[in-house]
Amino acid sequence: MPGIYARRIAVAASAAALAATTGLLTAPAAQAAMPTPVSASTARTYLGQLTVSAEGSSSGYSRDKFPHWITQSGACNTREVVLKRDGTGVVQDSSCAATSGSWYSEYDGATWTAASDVDIDHMVPLAEAWRSGASSWTNAQRQAYANDLTRPQLIAVTDNVNQSKGDKDPAKWMPPRTAYRCTYARAWVHVKHHYGLSVDSAEKTALQTALNGC
């Protein structure tokens, strides 16, 4: 199995390198997508309205405090809903598991045909949200945040690219596919503004730079 994993990383890295140098890779036209984030101009306005403060502590943080994935309808949980939404030709079985389809990862330009190769990324990571104000929320509020299908908060992407992002903010990580960075910054600010989360100074600077390039 390590050989398979290594090949997957190599494929993703190759696609990411091409996307980064050309900026020409785009998602298939037939693919659905996460909710459209606010425009760059609105995002710049929103960014100026966010509270700027030093990042809070991770003390007490646990993913269990952001319950996910919850049932959305029938047998389908949030992950399965996003896999269906973001994929092309997705077929699900009676338990709502994706049995076939293809998924284009906006972060790195790779396309996958197995749902197991795809993660559902929280645009603003759970731990980042915790350090930016969510530590004071109720579990019900955090559950709503972790399963939000209305804001541009959830997106299907290459699993190991999502893992490389971890809980980093835009000062420390941006999508390797440069053509997506404007959308990424718009979505990040949209989510933080909606939920009243703070930004630290380095994060704000990185977002301003990305938005100015839109």
113-163 pLDDT tens trace: 999 999 999 999 999 999 999 999 999 999 999 999 999 999 999 999 999
pLDDT at 32: 58
Handedness of CA 106, 111, 112, 117 (dihedral sign): negative
**Confidence band of 33 (pLDDT split at 50, 70, 90):** confident
What is the model's pLDDT at position 135? 97
The span from the CA of 31 to the CA of 47, in Å, is: 29
Residue span of the structural domain in which 63 resides: 2-212
Cα–Cα distance for residue pair 24/11, rounded to 1 Å: 17
Model-level pTM? 0.85
Percent of the chain with pLDDT over 90: 85
Q: H-type helices in the chain, by residue range?
A: 2-22, 40-49, 78-86, 126-131, 139-146, 159-165, 181-195, 201-212
Asked whether residue 5 carries a pLDDT value surpassing 50, the answer given is no
**Strand 118-122 to 111-112 pairing:** unpaired
Cβ atoms of 133 and 171 within 8 Å: the answer is no
Work out the number of other CB atoms within 10 angstroms of the CB of residue 78: 18
Q: How many CB atoms lie within 10 A of CB 208?
A: 17
- Total domain count for the chain? 1
